[in-house]
């Protein structure tokens, strides 16, 4: 079955001066043109070629061997190359730019920005892009409470900011945890505060470094006191071990430890932190 927007192996039905017509052997009348410049050298009828089907500027179905930056049922970041009153055009790696109607946008994408999108076929049987990606995300995510994750904000509602974690999994930053202005398409780093029964994630967005540092320093101080004033983590500790122990990146850990050091509350060596 030939499908728009998907890569597939199709058979060369016949060769002509303008290219090769490819399709299914049983349905030669439905074959589509693969332009001559893209026909593999030495190709003959009966050979199979890996192509993507889309529609050209005259709305005719056409095949291409070029690699697009996105296919159906996939998410990808595409750059906005033109903004018009009815939508925007995105660079997806082919000669004809990909159209995203205004109604399929979240926020107001501007020229030069990148949008996280997927593909769909509109009522006119044309490929278009959409930022409405909810149905293309999945669960459960391979993370647990305390893990640090990154993702893309894809929608803002009253209940908070919806995030595509790893541009694949469901995530939500509740409104009570949104400490800064967020917009669709923005990349965020956040901490998992809860993994729900359905595998979706509740998140807490990281604040700007200078605001977050006080909270991170307090976290280290509490852990120090709970451990009797000594922890086996320092300047040379493994980043993964620090993330596992505190839910912090190595950089955030060092900023927090430096804050405590400056206040004269700790001593720190390569692999140890001691309460003073």
Domain end call among 85, 113, 134? 134
Per the domain annotation, does 2 fall within a domain? no
DSSP, collapsed to helix, strand or coil, labels residue 223 as: helix
pLDDT by residue (tens digit) across 188-228? 888 899 999 999 999 988 655 445 567 788 889 988 999 99
CA separation for the pair 70, 118 (Å, rounded): 7
pLDDT by residue (tens digit) across 133-182? 998 999 999 999 888 899 999 888 888 999 999 989 999 999 877 766 78
If asked whether residues 264 and 213 sit together in one domain, one would say: yes
Domain end call among 134, 163, 179? 134
If asked whether residues 201 and 141 sit together in one domain, one would say: yes
Q: The whole model's pTM is what?
A: 0.65
Mark 169-197 as b/e (b = at least 16 C-beta within 10 Å).
Answer: bbbbbeeebbeeebebbbebebbbbebee
pLDDT by residue (tens digit) across 18-49? 999 999 878 878 899 999 999 999 999 999 99
Domain end call among 154, 185, 205? 205
Residue 32 pLDDT: 93
Per the domain annotation, does 70 fall within a domain? no
Domain count for the chain, please give it: 4
| Residue 110 lies in domain | 76-134
CA separation for the pair 270, 11 (Å, rounded): 63
DSSP, collapsed to helix, strand or coil, labels residue 177 as: helix
Residue 210 pLDDT: 47
Which CATH number belongs to the domain containing residue 193 in this structure? 2.40.50.140
């Amino acid at each position: 079955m030939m499908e728009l927007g998907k890569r597939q192996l199709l058979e060369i039905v016949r060769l002509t001066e303008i290219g090769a017509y490819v399709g299914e052997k049983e349905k030669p009348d439905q074959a589509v043109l693969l332009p001559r410049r893209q026909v593999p050298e030495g190709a003959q009828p009966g050979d199979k070629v890996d192509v993507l089907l889309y529609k050209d500027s005259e709305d005719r179905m056409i095949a291409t061997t070029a690699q697009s930056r996105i296919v159906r049922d996939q998410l990808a970041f595409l750059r906005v190359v033109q903004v018009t009153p009815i939508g925007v055009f995105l660079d997806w790696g082919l000669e004809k730019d990909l159209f995203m109607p205004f109604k399929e946008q979240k926020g107001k994408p501007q020229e030069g920005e990148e949008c996280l999108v997927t593909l769909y076929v509109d009522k006119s049987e044309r490929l278009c892009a959409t930022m409405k990606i909810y149905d293309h995300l999945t669960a459960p995510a391979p993370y647990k409470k305390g893990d640090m994750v990154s993702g893309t904000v894809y929608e803002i509602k009253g209940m908070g900011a919806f995030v595509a974690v790893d541009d694949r999994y469901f995530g939500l930053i509740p409104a009570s945890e949104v400490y800064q202005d967020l917009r669709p398409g923005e990349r965020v780093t956040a901490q998992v505060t809860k993994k729900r029964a359905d595998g979706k994630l509740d998140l807490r967005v990281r604040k700007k470094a200078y605001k977050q540092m006080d909270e991170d320093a307090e976290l280290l101080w509490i852990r120090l006191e709970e451990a009797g004033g000594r922890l086996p983590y320092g300047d040379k500790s493994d980043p993964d071990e620090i993330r596992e122990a505190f839910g912090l990146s190595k950089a955030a850990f060092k900023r927090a430890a430096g804050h405590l050091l400056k206040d004269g509350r700790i001593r720190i060596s390569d692999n140890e932190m001691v309460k003073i």
